[in-house]
Amino acid sequence: MTKTDATTHPEDTSAPALEVHGVRKTFEAEIAPVRALRGVDLTISRGTFVALMGPSGCGKSTLLNLIAGLEEADEGTIQVAGESMTGGTEDDHALIRRRHIGIVFQFFNLLEGMTVLENVALPAIIAGRSRKAAETRARDLLDLLGIADKASVMPGVLSGGQRQRLAISRALANEPTLLLADEPTGALDSAGGSEVIELLNRLHAAGQTIILVTHDADVAAAADTVLAMRDGRIVTDSDAAMGSGGPATTIGSL
């Protein structure tokens, strides 16, 4: 079945989940400009699980923010499920996020004044679903992620692992093409981190496309493919030794 939102916008299921071409991003700083991305080319097909690794400042979180339309690239193009995330207005980017992107952050970003169920239902309500349909979807997700019994409580009473499960449930509310996870285990203890990785593996097994940013090799090992970033580029060992970026990177069968 072709996924649609409240505006009955059909998804082009023939398009890759993500296409990034020639993306560059520089931030102005007090001393000198910071070249966060220096020409990134990346294509990811649907149903793949990719981990981006690299040291702090290598550009991995910047790339995730550009894919999500939270920042604008200086050069290059980004398409998510065939829709452009470069150019356009903030409203255009917000619509694409609602249709195609779920985001999980390190520090949860939950709405503490709403119940667990309301946190998960809200994105679908904003996207135009009825409250009844949104809450039905939310209950299904909470059941899938193992916290259905917490639906009526406030997020503040949850453990760290449960809070991240809630954040993932919310990110899945609109059935996104692409799930972006930025250091999702970074604020958790080892047990909570293991819970989240097990959950991401289950979601991937069910067909969810995932891009995970992490500096932890054990976390990255859960992915199908691990890509290294250095100095604003996706690199291989040989590229890093020569100080250059590699060729365009394609993940999955297109």
Cα–Cα distance for residue pair 89/228, rounded to 1 Å: 31
Q: How confident is residue 153, by pLDDT bands cut at 50, 70 and 90?
A: very high
Cα–Cα distance for residue pair 47/124, rounded to 1 Å: 22
| H or E element at residue 78 | strand 75-80
Query: Residue 85 contacts by C-beta under 8 Å, 6 or more apart in sequence?
Result: 66, 67, 68, 69, 78, 79, 93, 96
Whole-number pLDDT of residue 45: 95
Q: Which residue has better confidence, 50 or 193? A: 50
Tokens (6 digits) for 60: 């991995």
Q: Which residue has better confidence, 4 or 131? A: 131
| Res 221 pLDDT > 80 | yes
SS3 18: strand
Cα–Cα distance for residue pair 53/227, rounded to 1 Å: 6
Summarised one tens digit per residue, pLDDT across range 13-38 is 788 999 999 999 999 888 888 899 99
Map out the domains of the chain as residue ranges: 18-251
Per the rule left: phi > 0, alpha: psi between -120 and 50, beta: everything else, 81 is left
Whole-number pLDDT of residue 253: 57
Handedness of CA 228, 232, 235, 239 (dihedral sign): negative
Summarised one tens digit per residue, pLDDT across range 87-137 is 888 999 999 999 999 999 877 788 999 999 999 999 999 989 999 999 999
Whole-number pLDDT of residue 8: 45
Lowest mean pLDDT among 33-37, 98-102, 147-151, 161-165: 161-165
Whole-number pLDDT of residue 105: 82
The CATH code of the domain at 18-251 is: 3.40.50.300
| Res 73 pLDDT > 80 | yes
Pick from 81, 69, 67: which is nearest to 4 by CA?
81
Tokens (6 digits) for 179: 């799930």
Summarised one tens digit per residue, pLDDT across range 38-65 is 999 999 999 999 999 988 889 999 999 9
Angle formed by the axes of helices 190-205 and 160-171, nearest 10°: 30
| Res 4 pLDDT > 70 | no
